[in-house]
Amino acid sequence: MKKTLFLITLISIAFTSFSQDVFDIGIRKVEIFFSEPNWDDTLDYYYANDLGRLLADSVVIDGQMDDSVGVKYKGNSSYSVNNGKNPLNIRLDWVKAGQSIDNYNVLKFSNGFRDPSFVREVLAYEIAREYMPASKATYANVFINGNWNGLYTCVQSVDDDFTNEHFYERKGPFFKGEITNLSIAGCPAGPLGIWKYYSDTNCLQKAYEIQSTADWTQLGNFLDTVNNYFTDVEKVLDIDRTLWMMAFSNLTITLDGPINNIPHNFYMFKDNNGRFSPIIWDLNGSFGTFKNGLTQPVTTQDLQELDVFHGYNNNQNKMTSKIFSSAQYKRMYVAHMRTILNEQFANGNYNTRALQLQAIIDSSVNTEPNGFYSHTEFLSNINSSVGSPNSIVGISQLMGARTTFIQSLPEFTAIPPTISNITSSPISPTPHSTVTISAEITNATEAYLGYRFKFHDAFKKITMLNNGSGTFSATISVDARDVQYYIYADNNDAGIFSPEKAEKEFHQLAVVSDLVINDIMASNISSVTDQSGEYDDWVELYNGGATAVNLSGFFLSDDENTLNKWTFPNTTIQPNGYLIIWCDTAGTSQTGLHTTYRLSSDQEEVYLTDPSGTVIDAVHFVNMPNDVAYARVPNGMGTFIHQSETYNANNQITSFIIDAENNIERLRVYPNPSNNRIYILGAKGNLIIHNSMGQEVFNKEANSTISVDISSWNAGVYFVKSNQKVIKVIKQ
C-alpha cells in the first residue's frame, strides 16, 4: 500500500448518540390535556394508592401531539398533596405502542423542590455524562388544560432505550435499587444495605425492583461474587464505570444514593460481557441539598470537607467498603475524581455553566405560578446559602471550598506518573498481525494496557513491561478491526489514565491493508441517492494499493458468523479508486451493487472477506446519526470518525467533523430551527459559521454563550463550528 509515513494519530473519543432532540438544552413547551376536570385530585389519589396512570387525551410537546398518554405523579420528598406543581411521569406509549417523541417514550419532570438555583439537576447530569452513562436533561414549561403549571426539569428515563444507547443492549438483566417495604418471610427486617448478599434471593425484593425478566439469580450471583469472592469482582462488575460514578457522587456531594448508604436512586444493568454497571439516577439532590445519613446537624463545612472515601468503613455498604479495600481501586478512584475536579471545578467551568443555565430559564422562574422560591433566592443560590434553618448551600459556596479542600489532601498532592509519547510498532499494523504499543512513563511502578476491538466489548487488560529506561510496552495480536485502547500507570501513591477520561474515552489505532472499508452510512435519510433515486444505506471501499483488485468472489457481510452473506460479482476497483455498495436488499434487481441485507444504525459490524475466507477489514459502529458518515480519516488509512459524507471521494481531514459525544455535550445551539436569533453555548476559541455553500457568514472569538442575529440570513442550512465540533443549524 502506498502511504506517506506519518506519526501515529491518537484520537481520544467517546460514543453516545446525538441529534437535535427533545433533550437539547432550552425550554420545551409541554401541554397536557385531561378530560378529567379534577385531574389533580385524581393524580393525588392514584399516587397515594399506587393505581398507575391517569389517561391524558393528548400531550403536545413543542407542537408535536401524541394522544392517549399515561400520566402520573412521581417522587418521594418532592411530592406533596399540597404542592402547586408535583413531579410528573409521562408515558407516551401507554396506550399506543411505539408512540414517542424523538424516539423517547417516557419523560420525567422534576419540580425544582429543594433547589432555589433550579440548575442542580441539569448541571449535574451534564457533568456526569462526560464520564459515565447518565440521563439527558433539559427544561420544560408545563401547561395542563391550558393553564401554566410551572417550570420543570425534563429528564430522560433510564429504560431499555437508555441501555441500548449506552450498553448496546435492551434485554439484559436490569434492576433498580429501591426500598420496597416488602415483608418477606425469613428475610431480615428493615433495609438490606448496599450490595449486601443474601443466599435467599427472595430477600432482594426488599431492596430492588426488577426492570427486566424476573430472574433474581442474576443479581444474587453478582452480589455473591462482590461479597465472598471479591478478587473476581471484575468478572461481574464494570469497575471503571463504578469508580466514575462513586467519584462524581462524592465530589459533587450527591448523597441521595448508594455511596451514602441510601438504598435507592441507582440502577444495576448487566451487559453482554456478563458485567453489571451501576447507573446514577435522580440528581435533584446534588450539590449538597441532601444531608440524610450524615451526622446531624450538618454544617456547610461538613459538606465542603466530606471525606473523599466517605463510607469506606461502613459494613452495610459493600459498594464503598469493598471497593475502597483495594489500594489500586482507591488510586483509580482518586485519578477519576482529579480529572472531574480539574475539568469542571478547579477552572470554574461549573459556575459559568450554572449561570448560563440560569440565563436560559430566568424569565420562566421569575413569572412561573407555582415556584418554591423567590426570584431573588433563585439568583443568589449559585453563590450563597438560601433558607433557614435548613439552609441550602450555594453551589459555588460549596464547590469552591470543596475544590480547595480536596486539592490539599495527601492523595491529591501525591505525584502521579506521567504518560507521554505513545507510539506503535508498526505505525500502521495490517490485519491478523501483532503490534507493540509503547509509552514513555515516568514515576511509575506498574502500568497496564486496556484494549478491545468493539464498542460493547470489555477492555482486556495486560501488563506493560518496563524496559528499564522509562519505556513501557505491550504486544497484542490484532484482527481486522481497529484497536481501541488506553493506558493506566501508578505508583504507591497515585495513578493516572491516558486519556484521562478512560474508559469513557480511549485512543484508537487503525488496522489497515491496501483494500479498506472507507466510509459507512447506516442511516441515509436524505443525503445520497442510489441509481434509482432511493436513500439507502451504503458502504464505500477504497483501494490504496498500486494495482487494481478484482473483487469477484469477495464477500461483504454484517454478521461475523455468516461472512459470505453477500458475494461480489465480477467487478474491479482501481488503484486510488472508490466503490459504493448499497445495503438495501435490492440484490440484482437494480443497477449498481446492492446487497441482500440492510444495516442497523443502533449498532452493526461490516466485514470485508477475500475468497479464501480471510477477513481483510472489519468495522464496528454504534448509534449512527442520520445523514452522517462513519469515515476513515486520513482517507484509507486513519481511524473512523463521524463526519459529513464524502461519497465516492477523498475523506478530507479538514471536512466538518461531528463528534458523537461532544456535539451534544459541549457545543449547543438553541433554538434550532430559528428564524431570527440563535444562542451558542460551549464555544471556545474561534467560532465560525458557514452556509451550505461553504461560505463564511460569521467569525468571532468566543469563550461563553454567544448570541447571533440571523434574521437577515437566507433560509437554509448553516454549520456552526468551534474547536473542531460542528452543529447543523436550520434558518427558517
Query: Which pLDDT score is estimated for 666?
Result: 52
How far apart CA 378 and CA 386 sit, in angstroms, is 9
pLDDT band at 257 (very low <50, low <70, confident <90, very high): very high
In Å, what is the CA distance from 647 to each residue of 520, 548, 582, 643? 9, 20, 12, 11
* 482: containing domain: 414-509
Neighbours of 280 (CB within 10 A): 28
Model confidence at 7: pLDDT above 70: no
302 shares a domain with 218: yes
393 shares a domain with 306: no
Model confidence at 16: pLDDT above 60: no
* 53 is a domain residue: yes
307 shares a domain with 166: yes
261 shares a domain with 397: no
237 shares a domain with 383: no
98 shares a domain with 154: yes
Domain boundary among 456, 482, 509: 509
554 touches 610 (CB < 8 A): yes
227 shares a domain with 172: yes
How far apart CA 311 and CA 328 sit, in angstroms, is 17
Query: Which pLDDT score is estimated for 724?
Result: 60
Domain boundary among 307, 325, 343: 325
For residue 255 the three cell numbers come to: 448523597
* Choice among 165-169, 341-345, 645-649, 695-699 with the minimum mean pLDDT: 695-699
Model confidence at 259: pLDDT above 80: yes
Model confidence at 388: pLDDT above 90: no
pLDDT band at 64 (very low <50, low <70, confident <90, very high): very high
How far apart CA 657 and CA 518 sit, in angstroms, is 15
pLDDT band at 659 (very low <50, low <70, confident <90, very high): very low
393 shares a domain with 367: yes
* 249 is a domain residue: yes
* Choice among 63-72, 209-218, 299-308 with the minimum mean pLDDT: 209-218
Closest Cα to residue 106, out of 150, 132, 141, 136?
Answer: 136
Q: Report CA 455 to chain centroid distance, whole Å.
A: 13
645 touches 591 (CB < 8 A): no
179 shares a domain with 273: yes
Query: Which pLDDT score is estimated for 17?
Result: 33
Q: How many domains does the chain have?
A: 4
Collapsed DSSP state (helix, strand, coil) of residue 631: strand
Residue pLDDT, tens place only, 119-164: 999 999 999 999 999 999 999 999 999 999 999 999 999 999 999 9
pLDDT band at 704 (very low <50, low <70, confident <90, very high): low
Say if strands 495-498 and 483-490 run parallel, antiparallel, or are unpaired: antiparallel
Q: What percent of the chain has pLDDT over 70?
A: 93
* 177 is a domain residue: yes
Model confidence at 564: pLDDT above 80: yes
Q: What is the CATH number of the domain that holds 437?
A: 2.60.40.10
* 61 is a domain residue: yes
If you search the block for the grid coordinates 441509481, which residue do you land on? 531
Domain boundary among 402, 430, 461: 402
* Choice among 27-36, 194-203, 629-638, 694-703 with the minimum mean pLDDT: 694-703
Say if strands 137-144 and 27-33 run parallel, antiparallel, or are unpaired: parallel
- Kind plus residue range of the DSSP H or E element containing 453: none
233 shares a domain with 149: no
Q: Classify the C-alpha dihedral 378-381-382-384 as positive or negative.
A: positive
* 339 is a domain residue: no
How far apart CA 667 and CA 336 sit, in angstroms, is 23
If you search the block for the grid coordinates 444504525, which residue do you land on? 601
* 620 is a domain residue: no
**How many CA within 13 A on the CB side of residue 597?**
18
165 shares a domain with 145: no
How far apart CA 270 and CA 272 sit, in angstroms, is 7
Model confidence at 498: pLDDT above 60: yes
pLDDT band at 732 (very low <50, low <70, confident <90, very high): low
* 21 is a domain residue: no
Phi, psi of 12 (to 5 degrees): -90, 120
384 shares a domain with 262: no
How far apart CA 374 and CA 117 sit, in angstroms, is 10
Q: What average pLDDT does the structure give for the chain? A: 91
* 556 is a domain residue: no
Q: What is the mean pLDDT of residues 427-431?
A: 94
Q: Which strand ranges, in their side-by-side order, compose the sheet holding 706-709? A: 668-670, 677-681, 706-709
Single pTM value for the model: 0.88
